[in-house]
């Protein structure tokens, strides 16, 4: 099976399959005619001697400089070289593969005036496993992701660097090893390759995909903690959530009820007289549900963007016009990714508060720091410190990038989105959240073990058993960092969710 790109039907799951798992890509025959019509408009404009931005003019504040016919190809190569000024660590391979797929998909829509041959070469690189080395820093998010996409395009023309078979090498060498040749760009093609939002959108697509998974892990971990702390299920009453009716809240409450059927632990404190829990337990549906609503909103923004045309100028072949606009502006992605970062941060915030309750004997009713030899041993005391550090870091990262703008190109581009920074921050926040949830998993399973022989609800016992396959109960102090990493590995692979959902059914309709 391959992913067919036509500029209309790409999904976030398609992006994940191509970016992470190497699924092949092709252009269906149905898209080729529109691509060629779009190119014909550019070539006709050149023949007619029309002045067209980016075709026979300079760029940005140099748009009033005319370029002669003999220099049109050189103009495009100069553009790629001059815009390749990214710095910092390279984007992960999966992000660059996502960029390549998304750029090819946008070009395939047929409004960019680029030759089919160029798109085919970009797809050829993707299918051959050639991944350009693209530095992460240098994009202000308008006119699109110029620097990252320029580094991507360098390899197409036989320059720059690339990863091939896990080896970093000269871009031309990678093409030769894959049996490919550099492309010679013609008029409009350089600007069509680099003027778009594909770096921020690739990061966004992968992050929002993972965020939907993180929400499920957050719920399972919260359920384990509620059992370990002998919390009440009363706050999950369906009637409570029906009369507020936020979709995410309702869905999370439904999922939590599926995770928390009656259990031996619940029966053990049925007559304790406790009527309510702290907010970090009582408000699980309200807090996680609000984050879920946000993730779904961002998902809808990304799904729109991955099938949009975001370069400039745009070619409308029906009437032969070429129009300059601003679709390259990353504001929709910038705002959405800032919002996603905030929503993800809240998952960690409330998780850390539950971790604190687990390790604090004044709140938990469990042995101090989840060890039976408190004093001689510190147990899981410092695991909460780590969670607190990650939560604090997220509070810094969650500051929105989209509220900032620095003019560029001699004030021709006087408002920019900072969308790529927003996307990169959201991805960093997600990694921190994953670690916090892993710590909650570790502490909550220890708490349940300390209530033995009482058992938790069946779905949660399955989750605990899977964790215990890789991380044994803490009997004596040991280095806990490897335990967190092993649980994180289960989360990344989706194994805890898979095993739990075999009992509960799908926790969320995502």
Looking at residue 17, which CATH number applies to its domain?
1.10.275.10
Are residues 137 and 84 in contact, defined by beta-carbon separation less than 8 angstroms? no
- pLDDT higher than 90, residue 49: no
- pLDDT higher than 80, residue 273: no
- pLDDT higher than 80, residue 510: no
- pLDDT, tens digit, 9 for 90 and up, residues 411-441: 888 899 999 999 999 999 999 999 999 999 9
330: in domain = no
pLDDT-derived band at 84, boundaries 50, 70, 90: very high
- The predicted pLDDT at position 54 comes to 79
> What distance in Å separates the CA atoms of residue 300 and residue 276, rounded to the nearest whole number?
36
- pLDDT higher than 80, residue 66: yes
Helices (H), strands (E): how many in the chain? 21, 9
What is the SS3 assignment for 136?
Answer: strand
Domain check: are 415 and 475 in the same one?
Answer: yes
- pLDDT higher than 80, residue 275: no
> What distance in Å separates the CA atoms of residue 110 and residue 39, rounded to the nearest whole number?
8
Q: Domain total for the chain?
A: 2
- pLDDT higher than 80, residue 490: yes
Are residues 114 and 39 in contact, defined by beta-carbon separation less than 8 angstroms? yes
Are residues 306 and 208 in contact, defined by beta-carbon separation less than 8 angstroms? no
pLDDT-derived band at 67, boundaries 50, 70, 90: confident
326: in domain = no
**Contacts of residue 177, Cβ cutoff 8 Å, sequence gap at least 6:** 164, 165, 169
357: in domain = yes
- pLDDT higher than 90, residue 272: no
Which range marks the domain in which residue 104 is found?
A: 2-196
> What distance in Å separates the CA atoms of residue 286 and residue 250, rounded to the nearest whole number?
8
Using left for φ > 0, alpha for ψ between -120 and 50, and beta otherwise, residue 494 falls in left
Domain check: are 298 and 157 in the same one?
Answer: no
53: in domain = yes
Domain check: are 52 and 75 in the same one?
Answer: yes
Mean pLDDT throughout 15-44?
97
Mean pLDDT throughout 175-197?
95
List 53, 111, 164, 441, catalytic entry: 53
Are residues 57 and 68 in contact, defined by beta-carbon separation less than 8 angstroms? no
Of 154, 170, 196, which residue constitutes the final position of a domain?
Answer: 196
Is position 297 annotated as part of the catalytic site? no
Least confident of 54-68, 210-224, 315-329, 375-389: 54-68
Q: Check which CATH number belongs to the domain holding 490 and give it.
A: 1.20.200.10
Domain check: are 149 and 208 in the same one?
Answer: no
- The predicted pLDDT at position 246 comes to 98
319: in domain = no
Domain check: are 234 and 179 in the same one?
Answer: no
- The predicted pLDDT at position 413 comes to 83
Mean pLDDT throughout 75-88?
95
Domain check: are 243 and 184 in the same one?
Answer: no
CA separation, residue 21 to residues 6, 8, 148, 445 (Å): 20, 22, 22, 32
Of 180, 196, 212, which residue constitutes the final position of a domain?
Answer: 196
- The predicted pLDDT at position 270 comes to 86
- The predicted pLDDT at position 59 comes to 77
Domain check: are 126 and 237 in the same one?
Answer: no
Domain check: are 183 and 217 in the same one?
Answer: no
- The predicted pLDDT at position 55 comes to 84
> What distance in Å separates the CA atoms of residue 462 and residue 11, rounded to the nearest whole number?
32
Domain check: are 190 and 208 in the same one?
Answer: no
**Contacts of residue 491, Cβ cutoff 8 Å, sequence gap at least 6:** 213, 214, 217, 434, 437, 438, 441
- pLDDT higher than 90, residue 60: no
- The predicted pLDDT at position 233 comes to 95
- pLDDT higher than 90, residue 72: no
Domain check: are 181 and 207 in the same one?
Answer: no
316: in domain = no
Domain check: are 262 and 284 in the same one?
Answer: yes
Domain check: are 248 and 154 in the same one?
Answer: no
What is the SS3 assignment for 260?
Answer: coil
457: in domain = yes
- pLDDT higher than 90, residue 65: no
Mean pLDDT throughout 191-197?
95
> What distance in Å separates the CA atoms of residue 380 and residue 357, rounded to the nearest whole number?
12
Of 196, 222, 257, which residue constitutes the final position of a domain?
Answer: 196
- pTM of the full structure: 0.96
- The predicted pLDDT at position 64 comes to 80
- The predicted pLDDT at position 419 comes to 96
236: in domain = yes
CB atoms within 10 A of CB 273: 5
């Amino acid at each position: 099976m391959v992913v067919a790109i036509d500029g209309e039907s790409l999904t976030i799951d398609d992006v994940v399959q191509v970016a992470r798992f190497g699924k092949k890509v092709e252009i269906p025959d149905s898209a080729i005619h529109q691509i060629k019509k779009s190119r014909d408009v550019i070539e006709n404009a050149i023949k007619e001697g029309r002045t067209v931005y980016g075709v026979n003019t300079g760029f940005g504040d140099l748009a009033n400089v005319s370029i002669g016919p003999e220099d049109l190809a050189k103009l495009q190569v100069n553009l790629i070289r001059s815009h390749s000024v990214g710095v910092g660590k390279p984007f992960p391979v999966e992000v660059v593969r996502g960029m390549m797929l998304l750029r090819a998909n946008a070009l395939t829509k047929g409004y960019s005036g680029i030759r089919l041959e160029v798109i085919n070469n970009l797809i050829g690189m993707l299918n051959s496993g050639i991944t350009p080395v693209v530095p992460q820093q240098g994009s202000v998010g308008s006119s699109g992701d110029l620097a990252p996409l320029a580094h991507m395009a360098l390899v197409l023309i036989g320059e720059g660097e690339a990863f091939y078979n896990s080896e970093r090498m000269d871009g031309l060498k990678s093409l030769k090893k894959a049996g490919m040749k550099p492309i010679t760009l013609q008029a409009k093609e350089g600007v069509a390759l680099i003027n778009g939002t594909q770096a921020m959108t690739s990061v966004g697509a992968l992050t929002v995909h993972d965020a939907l998974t993180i929400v499920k892990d957050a719920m399972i971990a919260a359920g384990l903690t509620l059992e370990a702390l002998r919390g009440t299920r009363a706050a999950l009453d369906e009637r409570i959530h029906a009369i507020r009716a936020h979709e995410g809240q309702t869905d999370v409450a439904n999922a939590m009820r599926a995770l928390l059927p009656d259990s031996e632990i619940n029966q053990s404190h049925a007559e304790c007289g406790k009527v309510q829990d702290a907010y970090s337990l009582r408000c699980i549906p309200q807090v996680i549900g609000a984050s879920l609503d946000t993730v779904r909103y961002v998902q809808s923004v990304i799904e729109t963007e991955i099938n949009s045309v975001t370069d400039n100028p745009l070619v409308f072949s029906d009437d032969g016009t070429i129009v300059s606009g601003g679709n390259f502006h990353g504001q929709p992605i910038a705002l959405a990714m800032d919002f996603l970062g905030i929503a993800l941060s809240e998952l960690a915030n409330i998780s850390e508060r539950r971790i604190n309750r687990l390790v604090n004997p004044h709140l938990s009713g469990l042995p101090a720091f989840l060890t039976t030899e408190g004093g001689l041993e510190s147990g899981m005391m410092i695991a909460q410190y780590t969670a607190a550090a990650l939560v604090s870091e997220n509070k810094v990262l969650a500051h929105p990038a989209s509220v900032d703008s620095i003019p560029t190109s001699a004030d021709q581009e006087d408002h920019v989105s900072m969308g790529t920074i927003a996307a990169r921050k959201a991805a960093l926040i997600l990694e921190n959240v994953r670690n916090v949830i892993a710590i909650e998993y570790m502490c909550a399973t220890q708490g349940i073990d300390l209530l033995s022989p009482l058992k938790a609800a069946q779905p949660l016992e399955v989750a605990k058993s899977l964790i215990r396959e890789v991380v044994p109960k803490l009997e004596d102090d040991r280095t806990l960092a490897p335990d967190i990493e092993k649980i994180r590995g289960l989360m990344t692979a989706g194994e805890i969710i898979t095993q739990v959902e075999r009992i509960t059914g799908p926790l969320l309709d995502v």
